[in-house]
Structure 1
Amino acid sequence: MSTEHPTQQTRTAAVEVHRPVPLTPLPAPLPVVPAGGVPEVTTIVLPDGRTLTGYTVPAAQPAPLTAKPPVSRAAVNIALGGIGFAAVCGGLFLLTAFIAALTAFITQLVILAAVIFGGWIAVQILGHRDRGAGATVNIRKAVIKRNHFHS
């Protein structure tokens, strides 16, 4: 058993060495042979006297242009949006008229409730009272001497 602290122990690990494997070069791609047969071989003599021989490469043809429609898609989308907005405007007008009418109706109901409740309160306060319920005091017979009330 070791007397060293566990963090001071040295550990040996197996070392793996990876060596790169060289890739074998791919062969040059074969020229595309048109359906008509083998392309023609061309020889060019450079100004310094060297001679180059190889296949002719046809010029790249651009993709054919698609015919543009007489009206752009953006214009069609804007027109359709305008037609849809015009179709909705009538419904929006009716919706706002309905909301205004509903608001007026609710306001009238609140005012009517306030008038009825206020009238009920007024009748309760100012209405006819039962005279037998309270004590009646005849003030005409009372005598006031030196700011003191004698009944």
Structure 2
Amino acid sequence: MSTPQRPTAVEVHHPTPLTPTHPMPLVPAQPAPVSPVASVVLPDGRVVTGYAIEPAKPETVVSKPAVSRTAVNIALGGIGFGAVCGGLVLLTTFIAALTALITQLITLAAVIFGGWIAVQILGTSSHRGGTTVNIRKAVIKRNHFHG
């Protein structure tokens, strides 16, 4: 008699779905022009037919400037700003020198005018409204002054 077999565990495999890949869109390219078929007759009378081989011509490349216009404009703006800053420094120096000159002129005028006023006030003048007495020649007798 045969022995009954036990059922074995069943393994179930589920397939992993593949993500669909999107192919790159194809860009239509212009086919290269086909050169015409040329036939050559050899001196012994045989005819050879084939395509004429022309040297490949390089594609014309549109020349772009080495530096963009924006970069050139920024550089020129920087140069102009530097020139203006130099002028502003000179202008500031000129204003400071002019201020110092005006201050010195005002000080000089005050000294000269103040000196003139001092001479007018403190200066001796013979035109004062009083009597000038020479004390050396005066004789004082009994509290009277005789000049």
Q: If the length of structure 1 is used for normalisation, what is the TM-score?
A: 0.39
Q: If the length of structure 2 is used for normalisation, what is the TM-score?
A: 0.40
Q: Which has the larger radius of gyration?
A: 2
